[in-house]
Structure formats: C-alpha cells, structure tokens
Amino acid sequence: MIKNVGLLIGVLLFALPETGWAQEKIRIGIGSVSLQSVLPFIGKQRGLFAKYHLVPEIVYIPGGSTNVQALISGNLDISQLSGAPGAAANLEGADIIYILGLLDKLNYQLITRPEIRNVEQLKGKKFGISRFSSSADFGLRALLKKLGIDPVKDVTILQIGDEHARLAAVKAGNIDGTVMNAPFGAEAEKLKLNVLADSVKMGIPFFNTGLLGSKKFFDQNEPKVLNFLRAYLESIKVFKTEREYAVKSTAQFTRINNTKAIEEGYDYFKEQLNNVPYPSAEAMHAVVTQLSETNPKARKIDGKIYVNDRYLKQLEEEGFVKKLWESK
C-alpha cells in the first residue's frame, strides 16, 4: 500500500503470486486502462514475468502525475506513462528516466458532444482531463493549440478523472469534450459522439507512452530491470504475432465489449509498435518544449537527458532480441 504520499490507488491488478522457482517482486504502475497498457497484462497472463524470475504487481493509479508521485516515494518500481508527468517532476527535482518509448507521436483524439461539430464551436466550452500536468492535460492543450484554440483563454479545462470518468461526464453533458486514447472512432460512433480531431493524423511529435522509473532504482537494480525488459519485449512479440489472443486479452483487460473497437485499436497500435521501442529524445524534447510555455525551468533543458536507451541496447548486443524474434 502506498504511504505518505496522500494517494488513493484505484485498483491493484493481478497480484497473485506465480508458482515455480524463487522470484523477485516488481511493482508496475499504469496510469490508464488503455490499449498500450495491455502489454504488462499479457506478460502476467502468459507467465513471461515468471519466466524471468519476477512476480509482478500491476497497480492502476489514474493520472500520470499521481503515478509519478508513487514512483518518487518508492512505492512503485516502474511505471508506464507518457513523457509529460516524468518530465514535469524532473523540473521540480525528481530523477525520473524513461528507458523505453512505445509511441513518439501524440496519440489522442478530441471527442465532443453530438451538437459540437466544428472547431469554431469549441470556444467557451468545458473540457475534461484526468489531472493537471497529466498526459491527458498535455494532449488536450496540444490538440487545441494545433486547431487554433487557446487552451487558457478560449476554453475551461477541468480535472475529471480517468478515461471512463471523462467519457461518462461527456455523455452526461457535464463537460463538452475530452481527449481519449486513439483510435476511438468505433466507440464514438456507437455512443453518437464526434471525433473532432486526431493527433496522429496531425503528426504531433510527443513522447506518448513509455516505461519510466527513478534513476536510482535503475542503477541499483540492473539485473531486475533487464529481466523486466526481457519479459516486456517478449510481451510485445506475443501482441504483434498472436492477433486473436491479443484482441481477446485487450478486451478482457479494458473490459470493452465492442469487438470492432478492440480490433480497430489493435491494428492501429500494432502498426506503430516497434519490436524494440527505443525512447525518442526528439519526442521527449517536444514534451519539454511544451512544458517551457508554463515553466521557465524547462527553457534550458534538452529532452535527451530524460531518456536512457542503454538497457535496450544491452539486450540487443547480447543477442536476446535476435533470438526472441527468430524463435517460433
């Protein structure tokens, strides 16, 4: 249980002990129940963490900034989040490093109520995010600016909660719109909501989703970190090569019953997912650049100092990746 950080963990997922040889516990945080977050679940479900001597506790803590607080306090070992929460924490003195990057483009779609059909109607409206400084916050602001809408002067941004809470608020009419992880087209059609903008189609560089933790933890636990990455990379292989299983696991994990939406999301994500997803310094720099608009501390920061690819390089150099993808 997290202590001394004033947090409420929403759900502790899949923490049952594995059977077999002696193993080490590793605590993995996720900030949203989204398509990308299914990878640790696949690693747990298929026994891949156990294969590399790890017992995973997968902890759902809604919102990136809250999740990072748990990392800093030592109550989590590794988290899967966007680049914004970790970079923001570093500007306040944290030592967060990203060791893997799944997506290097902003991966949100702007969802609005049915009567809002064009950009001109966005002014004066209320939009929901999870928490300020979270990935949803950054994603919404980046999308609005790209559309010519000032996120400070033209709209009101409210802290609502995770994607399910924000979607419920839109449907209830409590807010006019929000951002949802792409692709959300099939679900939006089902709910009679509008997808007003797609950040991927706009090609907005952004460190969207990756693995992060404290530099101290990584330095002091290198064997555990490498074993975690071995299991994670093998989970990526399962996801990319076993479509039927991956779609079924994603539906189970997200609790979405819309098979069309799950398949749409799977095909979308698979095309963007590299076998070895190195963290992008360019994408992280885009995050830092956006931070600099409101935080002067970011103006002299090069985003590359917040990423470290040496662990993935080590696995490639030792032949792990080649052997993994050569095996059936």
Q: Which of 164, 162, 154, 107 is nearest to 131 (CA)?
A: 162
- With respect to residue 305, please indicate whether it lies within any of the assigned structural domains: yes
Give the tokens for residue 114: 């049915």
Number of independent structural domains in the chain: 2
**Residue 82 and residue 221 in one domain:** yes
**Residue 95 and residue 232 in one domain:** yes
- With respect to residue 158, please indicate whether it lies within any of the assigned structural domains: yes
- With respect to residue 220, please indicate whether it lies within any of the assigned structural domains: yes
Q: What does DSSP say about strands 96-105 and 205-214: parallel, antiparallel, or unpaired?
A: antiparallel
**Residue 91 and residue 231 in one domain:** yes
pLDDT tens per residue, range 41-58: 999 999 999 999 999 999
**Residue 159 and residue 304 in one domain:** no
Query: Is pLDDT of 119 > 80?
Result: yes
**Residue 76 and residue 116 in one domain:** no
**Residue 116 and residue 185 in one domain:** yes
- With respect to residue 5, please indicate whether it lies within any of the assigned structural domains: no
pLDDT tens per residue, range 254-271: 888 888 888 988 998 898
Q: CA angle, 244 as apex, 241 and 248 as ends, to 5°?
A: 120
DSSP-derived letter for residue 123 is: T
Lowest mean pLDDT among 1-5, 276-280, 281-285, 312-316: 1-5
- Using 50, 70 and 90 to split pLDDT, how confident is the model at 21? low
**Residue 35 and residue 99 in one domain:** yes
Among 181, 203, 225, where does a domain finish?
203
Q: What is the mean pLDDT of residues 10-33?
A: 67
- With respect to residue 284, please indicate whether it lies within any of the assigned structural domains: yes
Q: How far apart are CA 293 and CA 135, in angstroms?
A: 16
**Residue 146 and residue 169 in one domain:** yes
Query: Is pLDDT of 7 > 70?
Result: no
**Residue 315 and residue 227 in one domain:** yes
- With respect to residue 6, please indicate whether it lies within any of the assigned structural domains: no
**Residue 237 and residue 310 in one domain:** yes
> Which residue shows structure tokens 């306040």?
92
- With respect to residue 156, please indicate whether it lies within any of the assigned structural domains: yes
> Can you give the CATH number for the domain in which 175 is found?
3.40.190.10
Query: Is pLDDT of 19 > 80?
Result: no
**Residue 66 and residue 117 in one domain:** no
- With respect to residue 1, please indicate whether it lies within any of the assigned structural domains: no
pLDDT tens per residue, range 155-179: 999 999 988 899 999 999 999 999 9
Give the tokens for residue 240: 């990319």
- Angle 83-91/281-291 helices, nearest 10 degrees? 60
Residue of higher predicted confidence among 119 and 10: 119
- Using 50, 70 and 90 to split pLDDT, how confident is the model at 2? very low
Mean pLDDT of the chain: 89
Amino acid at 205: P
Q: Which of 315, 311, 312, 306 is nearest to 283 (CA)?
A: 306
Query: Is pLDDT of 4 > 60?
Result: no
Query: Is pLDDT of 252 > 50?
Result: yes
**Model confidence, pTM:** 0.79
Residue of higher predicted confidence among 328 and 69: 69
> Which residues, 6 or more positions from 293, have their beta carbon under 8 angstroms from its beta carbon?
none
Among 203, 235, 261, where does a domain finish?
203
**Residue 320 and residue 210 in one domain:** yes
Q: How far apart are CA 111 and CA 101, in angstroms?
A: 25
Domain span including residue 166 = 108-203
